[in-house]
């Protein structure tokens, strides 16, 4: 699987908490954050209304694209 490096800014308290959770579970902070993001994305996919919001955003982006490429 290809990976992408991202920079993430967290409040100090959350950074400390995620580090503690990662240590307690024997995983890296990066792994703990990836798992949390995977859970968030999965929850969004199942949320009522998400697909409609996503579709609306895609349509808005398509409109902008068409304006710029004329």
Provide the residue range defining the domain that includes 33: 12-68
Asked if residue 2 is part of any domain, the answer here is no
Please report, for residues 5, 11, 40, the alpha-carbon distance to residue 18 in angstroms, rounded to integers and kept in the order given.
19, 11, 15
Asked if residue 26 is part of any domain, the answer here is yes
Asked if residue 31 is part of any domain, the answer here is yes
Give pTM, 2 decimals: 0.75
* Structure confidence by residue, pLDDT tens digits, 24-41: 999 999 999 999 999 999
Rounded Cα–Cα distance for residues 2 and 47 (Å): 27
Q: Supply the pLDDT for residue 70.
A: 83
Model confidence band, residue 63 (pLDDT cutoffs 50, 70, 90): very high
Q: Supply the pLDDT for residue 1.
A: 82
Asked if residue 3 is part of any domain, the answer here is no
DSSP helix/strand/coil, 63: helix
Number of domains in the chain: 1
């Amino acid at each position: 699987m290809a990976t992408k490096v991202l920079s993430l800014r967290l409040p100090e308290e959350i950074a400390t908490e995620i580090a503690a959770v990662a240590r307690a579970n024997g995983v890296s902070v990066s792994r703990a954050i990836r798992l949390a993001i995977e859970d968030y994305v999965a929850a969004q996919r199942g949320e009522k209304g998400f697909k409609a919001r996503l579709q609306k955003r895609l349509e808005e982006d398509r409109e902008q694209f068409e304006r710029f490429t004329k």
